[in-house]
Amino acid sequence: MSFYILRRILYAIPIAFGVSVVCFSLVYIAPGDPLQTVMPPDATAETIEIVKKAYGFDKPLPMQFLIWLGRVLTGDFGMSISTRRPVFLEVSEALANTSLLALFAVPLAFFTGYVMGAIAGCFPGRWIDRVVTGAAVVGVSLPNYWLGIVLVIFFAVEYMLLPATGMGPNGSTGFHILEWSSARFLVLPVITLSMIPVGILSRTTRAAVAEVHNQDFVQTLRAKGLSEWAVTRHVLKNSLPQVLAVMGLQFGYLLGGSILVETVFTWPGSGFLLSKAIINRDVPVLQGTILTLSLVFVAINLVVDLLQSLIDPRIRRA
């Protein structure tokens, strides 16, 4: 068993390596001289020379990658072109804010999605199933940033109930989670962010529950005399591994999809940072953010895989 854990962790390492290679090459697929992408436009010739040495642009490509990798591992992601602050600082601040959103969105989305899907799966074909399935399809087909805009229209413009944008009256520095005056800024972004995961999760859960229901052992349980509720509990337990796998993927979506939602609500998280970096052509920030987010995703997938193998012994292969 621990052999499997070890293998799974070891497997994640080349993936992480591959991820860093891709991130590294982002600088190079950018049009123009890679040097220009990491320098603010008004840098002096001197500065350019220094940076050139530091990045190793005058050395062959694999050398540059190693240099870059070395710097990344020590936490030096370079400097942001637009704000002149270290990228590492910017990314960590932004990530903290995004985590706040995720903190609320994850339980909300997963719980809602699972419950909806479970109910639909236990009563396939009935009206509740149709409602849930319909809602799920809608959820997946909706551009979530558009939902955000619509929600803003309703709650902020028409009815003035909730604030439209921003993170609290004082921005991120003055954010107190426990006070409603700050917390109310969370409501709309969290709801918007949860939408697609709820859709996908309810569909997946419904399919998993329905499939388990059809298996022979369920009939055996009933024949043994178990109450319907007890049988349902067994069914839900068995459908959990499949759902967990999808939850892990959805977490990754939350990391990536946050970019659109955060842009709509001007929430200063990693997604917003990313979109600002795109507008300003701030490649170091782009690189740093994507690298961080992807590595977090790899780590989450690893955890989810290990959790899955703990719950479902069938997954533990040699």
Between residue 276 and residue 295, which ones bind other proteins under the rule CB under 8 A?
A: 277-279, 281, 283, 286, 290, 293-294
Asked whether position 198 contacts other proteins by CB under 8 A, the answer is no
First to last CA, the chain: 9
Q: Which two tokens stand for residue 57?
A: 């642009």
Phi/psi of residue 86, nearest 5 degrees: -60, 140
Nearer to other proteins, 207 or 218 (CB): 207
Candidate list 94, 109, 152, 236; residue touching other proteins; CB under 8 A: 152
Closest CA to 27 of 290, 299, 317: 290
Runs of H (alpha helix) within 30-126 = 34-38, 45-55, 61-73, 87-122
Question: From the list 117, 163, 197, 257, which residue makes contact with other proteins (rule: CB under 8 A)?
Answer: 257
Residue whose tokens read 């921003």: 166
Greatest distance between any 2 Cα atoms in the chain: 83
User: Which residue carries 């009815």 as its tokens?
Assistant: 159
Binder of other proteins out of 263, 267, 268, 269 (CB under 8 A): 263
Contact in structure between 63 and 70 (CB atoms under 8 Å)? no
**Residue 39 CA to chain centroid, in angstroms?**
29
Residue type, 212: V
210 binds other proteins (CB under 8 A): no
Q: Which is nearer to other proteins, 188 or 231 (CB)?
A: 188
The interface with other proteins within residues 51-70 (CB under 8 A) comprises none
**Residues 71-100 within binding reach of other proteins (CB under 8 A):** none
Give the shortest CB-153-to-other proteins separation in angstroms. 4
Does 204 help bind other proteins (rule: CB under 8 A)? no
Q: Smaller CB distance to other proteins: residue 152 or 186?
A: 152
Select the residue interacting with other proteins from 183, 218, 253, 306 (CB under 8 A).
253
Q: Does 38 bind other proteins (CB under 8 A)?
A: no
Token pair recorded at residue 190: 């969290």
CB of 231 to other proteins, least distance (A): 27
174-209 burial, b for 16+ CB within 10 Å, e for fewer? ebeeeeeebeebbebbbbbbbbbbbbbbbbbbbbbb
From the list 241, 235, 233, the residue with the least C-alpha distance to 213 is 235
Smallest distance from the beta carbon of 106 to other proteins, in angstroms?
14
Q: Which residues bind other proteins (CB under 8 A)?
A: 14-16, 18-19, 21-23, 26-27, 29-31, 137-138, 140-143, 145-147, 149-150, 152-153, 157-158, 252-253, 255-257, 259-260, 263-264, 274-275, 277-279, 281, 283, 286, 290, 293-294, 297-298, 301, 318
